[in-house]
Structure 1
């Protein structure tokens, strides 16, 4: 029988991966700023088109403000991540996320051993190490 199991993916920080992560964070920041500008532009356009409907304008402003605020929150998170990235030493391990894998199980297998965490460690885009037996991390 096969089961699906979570696997933690980590990355070893190198100059190359640090540069790539920084570029990704900066690119995402740029994209979020563009989205905020676009939202503000669309809001002004819709407000102008519906200048006689005050209730609609109020609802529209609230909706757009929520969307802008979500993006500003993401921007703050990215700024925090950029600051943390600058402080991390080369060789540090960064959690990238989790993936799912299929594990073969049979009668008589030790369930606790099967459910212990598995980690895949990546270095510069190449699998560097596969670790078995860590504690399962919940997301």
Structure 2
């Protein structure tokens, strides 16, 4: 019989991975800032077309802009934490599903114990 089990993915922090994450976070911040500017432009455009619904339009756009600004704050926080993170430490990258063969007589504790895949610079270095 086969079962599906969650396996943790962990990444070893290296100078290269820190640089890649820094670049990724900065790019996401840049894109979110662009979206905020685009939303402001669209808001002004819509307000000029329909002057009687300015309050509704402003409320909707403020909510969307606020969501993006919250995401920007989150990525800036992640950038700060990235700088603090020492090289060689482990960072959680999420989980994947693994298919495990289960047969009579197997030790259930071994099957259910936490498993993980360790990645360093894009290469799997250890499976536990």
Corresponding residue of 2:109: 112
Q: TM-score, normalised by structure 1?
A: 0.86
Q: TM-score, normalised by structure 2?
A: 0.92
Corresponding residue of 2:26: 26
Match among 71, 78, 99 for residue 102 of structure 1: 99
Give, in angstroms, the shift of residue 38 of structure 1: 1.0
Corresponding residue of 2:6: 6
What secondary structure sits across from 1:106 in the alignment?
A: coil
Mind listing any 5+ residue stretches in structure 1 that lack a counterpart? 132-139
Give, in angstroms, the shift of residue 58 of structure 1: 2.1
Corresponding residue of 1:40: 40
Mind listing any 5+ residue stretches in structure 2 that lack a counterpart? none
What secondary structure sits across from 1:96 in the alignment?
A: strand
Q: Does 1:126 align with 2:96?
A: no
1:93-134 deviations in Å (ceiling 9; x for gaps): 111111111112223333332122111110111001112xxx
Q: Distance in 2 between matches of 1:45 and 1:101?
A: 50
Where relative contact order (Cα < 8 A, 6+ residues apart) is larger, the structure is 2
Would you identify which runs of 4 or more consecutive aligned residues in structure 1 move more than 4 Å? none
What secondary structure sits across from 2:103 in the alignment?
A: coil
Root-mean-square deviation (Å): 1.3
1:58-93 deviations in Å (ceiling 9; x for gaps): 222222111111111111111111011111111011
CA change 1:47–1:114 in 2 (3 A) is same
Q: Distance in 2 between matches of 1:106 and 1:65?
A: 57
